[in-house]
Amino acid sequence: MTNKTSVEQTTKNNNSNKIIIRKGIIDLSTIDKNKNGKVYECPMDWNVISDKPGVCPLCGMTLKEYSIEETKSNLNKFGYEYKK
């Protein structure tokens, strides 16, 4: 039997994971919530970007910290659009 708290936590984690998978034109300034000029990005799935350390929900790799400029370069290199 599953308790309500664990189901809620699993749902919250799944929803959080979906949020870091970016689609469309990626706005890095809104992702960088603490405004330190750095975000965490998956080195395999370049559209997975977060303001916090974590794990890519697509491939399981640890997100790597990049500057905003490095992230823009990565996105550009791999064909993703970002807000300029």
Note whether 48 and 63 are within 8 A (CB): yes
**Rounded mean pLDDT of 7-25?**
63
The pLDDT confidence band at residue 6, using thresholds 50, 70 and 90, is very low
The pLDDT confidence band at residue 16, using thresholds 50, 70 and 90, is low
What is the torsional sign of CA 68, 47, 62, 52?
positive
Q: Is the pLDDT of residue 70 over 90?
A: yes
